[in-house]
Amino acid sequence: MKVEEIQKIEENIYKVYKEGISRIPALVFADEQIIESVISDQSFTQIVNVTSLQGVEYVFIMPDVHWGYGFPIGAVACTNYHEGGIISPGGIGFDINCGVRLLRTNLTSKDLTENLKEKLLDKLFEYVPSGVAAEGDIRLSKSEFKKIVEKGLNWAVENDMASEHEIELVEDRGVKDNVDIQNVSTEAIDRGRTQLGTLGSGNHFLEIQVVDKIYEEKVASVLGLYENQIVVMIHCGSRGFGHQIASDYINLMLKSMDKYGIKVSDKQLACVPAISSEGQRYITAMNAAANFAHLNRQIITHKVRKAFKQVLGSKISVELVYDISHNMATIEDYSINGKKTRLVMHRKGATRALPPYHKSLPDVYKPIGQPVFIPGDMGRYSFVLVGTQRAYELTCGHTCHGAGRVKSRNQMKKEVDYNKLLEFLRNKGISIRASSKATVVEEAPEAYKDASSVVDIVHKVGISLIVARLKPIGVVKG
């Protein structure tokens, strides 16, 4: 790699451009240590590959960047919808609409004694199935499942698992309009119809947290957050349903690229023009998975409320703060040099960070900007931020999505002792419930960057503003 292929243009902002390959430069938000990690693994090659894609207008790389399938995780790629811009499942990920929601309670840390915390974790682990093969208690026929996926969160409202007010606090109100279940395979439906209300495995979690520090009092007040408050963070997505849809359309696009004269340097970048018949079919199937994921997190929320009330009484309040996506593609209008342009916004491990008064925000959050949740690992802090005008101008309204993995799961299995890890977490006041020891070891804190360093970069650059810090005290893992 030549030195000129990666240039520092200002503090915490770098430009990546490879002559003869890149159509446009990528903006990378990072410090020197993160840049070194990008150079030393496959992330640099993947960034360059993304800048070479047909119709690409912008590429942004967030500080939680690491190697992924096709696209690096932590990437935003915006392609021109009407001028042959592609859509690529690798730019969204296998876990379509994986995302994070935050719930606030009317409890403080003093209200949740150690004994009550352990009882609560037991109930949460009982009510919310976790693990690779986890199945929920909602049993559906194929025809019922199809109808539910088309309705999205409206089904939760009809079945007293959500209120109309609540779904206003979900990105795009939890329902994608452009859905066609006919473009979803039988295999995907079979995998998904038993998995609503389940957590899954890997880095997905259900976490009891304490608001440890408030940085912006006025913004936190709008979000209903205050110091020592008990909150709950849920991180999961579309389970086997979304995974199968991604697999199906990667295979379809691999067979279709020649028809459109598309060449890619890595078959994991399989893509087609977004306006093509294959692209449109994928979009409608992807949106079905997005509806599933929002509904999945809502059903889990319903079960969390049930657990809290059973352990702590009927007066306990568990309210939704917001629900965000970080593995998704949306079709949005954006101004380029004063001209309105329709873009395919690929988010592969990246979060919207819309500015105050953006039309897509619920009224309650218009004065402060979009809430952004950055989960840490199970031994360190998570963060609440909000979007900014700077993000809209610099990154088409995007920021990071998490801490960012630095060690593989296989590496963690070799390096981490399960019992020592549990003792380390206990000494920090963190209790764990998990469906397997392997998952706990694979998700040990040292597998990830410290989320503090990641959010510090996006805060300094100004693409999101830190509002609150959350400390884990109880974790349910897959």
Catalytic residues: 401
- Rounded-to-integer distance, Cα 55 and Cα 24, Å: 10
Strand pairing report for 398-399 and 351-352:
antiparallel
Q: 99-108 and 318-325: which strand pairing?
A: antiparallel
Which amino acid, 190?
D
Structure tokens at 109: 């840390």
Is there a contact between 29 and 60 (Cβ–Cβ < 8 Å)?
yes
Distances in Å between the Cα of 208 and the Cα atoms of 83, 124, 136, 231 are 46, 10, 21, 6
d(CA 341, CA 148): 33
65, 139, 168, 181 from 185: Cα distances, Å: 32, 19, 30, 8
Report which residue type is found at 198: T
Q: What is the DSSP letter of 257?
A: G
**Residue 391, Cβ neighbours under 10 Å: how many?**
29
Cα(153)–Cα(143) distance, integer angstroms: 17
How distant, in Å, are the alpha carbons of 163, 166, 373, 399 from that of 321?
13, 9, 10, 19
